[in-house]
Amino acid sequence: MAGKSKVFVAQLLGLPVFGPDGESIGKIRDLVAGLRVDRQPPRVLGIVVELATRRRVFVPMLRVTTIDAAAITLSTGSVNMRHFTQRPNEVLVVGQLLDARVRVAEGTAAVVVDAAMQPTRTRDWVIDRIAVRERTGRLVRRGPVRVVDWSEVEAPGVLELAGRPQDAHQLLAVFDGMRAADVATALQDLPAKRRHEVADALDDERLADVLAELPEDDQKDLLKHLDEERGADVLEAMDPDDAADLLAELSEGDKERFLELMEPEESAPVKRLLEYSSDTAGGLMTPEPIVLSPDSTIAEALARVRNPDLTPALASMVFVCRPPSATPTGRYLGCVHIQRLLREPPFDLVAGALDKELTSLRPADSLLEVTRYFANYNLVCAPVVDDEDHLVGAITVDDVLDHLLPEGWRERTGAREGLNA
């Protein structure tokens, strides 16, 4: 096998994976090792590759021909496209081994921060060395990292390591910079114990973003794992429409309890959304679009759409209303598309750039009517206005797609297919 003879796992994460003819297959997201109960180094069984479709598949190590600093190359053959499912005798090196609490030979408490693998004469790859950092109590010292042989760890069996309590610092470092949807995909591949540890380590804002991308069952599982006070904090950090969708799946008692724990100003828009059926415009909308007064300038509007916390869809349109600017607003005057904002002088008023011809959705409009509206007007965002001409929210195309796709589309499952490489 060409390329490196010893590889630290953290260096591989995110590397592109190519077929023998240079075609892009996906990116490496983890490695799978075989469990052992003795002190022999565990064998690396294969890699977990994330395809462009976000499906994660297993590729045996025998299919890997080259590992270098820039990419991983596979040999000719076919890849099983069934979604990767961890077997009882396997461990995810990144997902489960990193952050494991161990003791090195002299009894020093430490945390695994990386693992090194190298090939054997039989073309197998084994994890023969691990990088550890000293740990005192619950704290990991910011001291030097030591690389030790697998045999120097007092309890080196992967099975035992995978079952111990773990921090999540290294795994969070892996997730840093990844989109919330990709983190959610990665969490679905982890055992429940590890998912809970990661949820405990994520801050409320990041966990809220990830939670919104998970299937309903996983959302409810993580919310049930959190204590109620923190669960309410995370719901507050979620977009109101996502929080309403999650609360709607809970029992009436649980829903009311979380709403009571939330701050009144945070729970109020969520309660309004829960009044609508989930398959209507009112149930699909977010109550927090960009709202400006008619005397606002183009420059002010552009400053608002530059907010990195906004999704591209929500940033594609600003809505102009009479005060108050919080939904439900004063009288709705019209909207301004971002393309129009980019064409106008920055000190002109948004009132002069209004699209007054675009019709609005009503809260009671059905999902079919909403879908037709987006198709007719080629939009990614649309206003929802009540019978008294108050803007009550906006719908983005991703919320429409969420309800049009088959139930359970977020589940990481797939049919058995073959991909030639």
Per-residue pLDDT at 410: 62
Model pLDDT, residue 69: 85
Assign a CATH topology to domain 174-275.
MgtE N-terminal fold (1.25.60)
pLDDT at residue 73, as a whole number: 92
**What are the pLDDT digits (tens) for 120-140?**
888 889 999 999 988 776 555
Q: Can you give the pLDDT at residue 144?
A: 82
Q: Report DSSP letters for 247-288, one per residue.
A: HHTS-HHHHHHHHHHS-HHHHHHHHHHHTS-TTBHHHH-BS-
Residue 167: closest CA among 136, 189, 143, 130: 136
CA atoms within 13 A on the CB side of 9: 32
pLDDT 10s digits, 250-296: 999 999 999 999 999 999 999 999 999 989 999 999 999 999 999 99
CA distance 170 to 194: 13
Q: What are phi and psi of 331, to 5 degrees?
A: -60, 135
- Residues 5-14, mean pLDDT to the nearest whole number: 88
> How many other C-beta atoms lie within 10 A of the C-beta of residue 334?
18
**C-alpha span between 136 and 329 (Å, rounded):** 55
Concatenating the DSSP letter of every residue in 109-176 gives EEEEEEEEEEE-TTS-EEEEEEEEEEEETTEEP----EEEEGGGBSS--HHHHHHS-B--HHHHHHHT
- The CB density around residue 128, as the number of other CB atoms within 10 Å, is 17
The mean pLDDT of 194-221, rounded to a whole number, is 93
Whether pLDDT at 36 is above 70: yes
- For the record, the structure tokens of 77 come out as 């053959």
Which is higher by pLDDT, 365 or 153? Answer: 365
The answer to whether residue 391 scores a pLDDT higher than 90 is: yes
- Indicate the domain borders of the chain: 1-167, 174-275, 291-404
**3-class DSSP state of 2:** strand
Say yes or no to pLDDT of 154 above 50: yes
What integer best gives the mean pLDDT of the chain?
A: 88
CATH number of the structural domain 1-167? 2.30.30.240
Decide: 48 and 28 in contact? Cβ < 8 Å: yes
Domain 291-404 class, CATH top level: alpha beta
pLDDT in tens, 330-348: 999 999 999 999 999 999 9
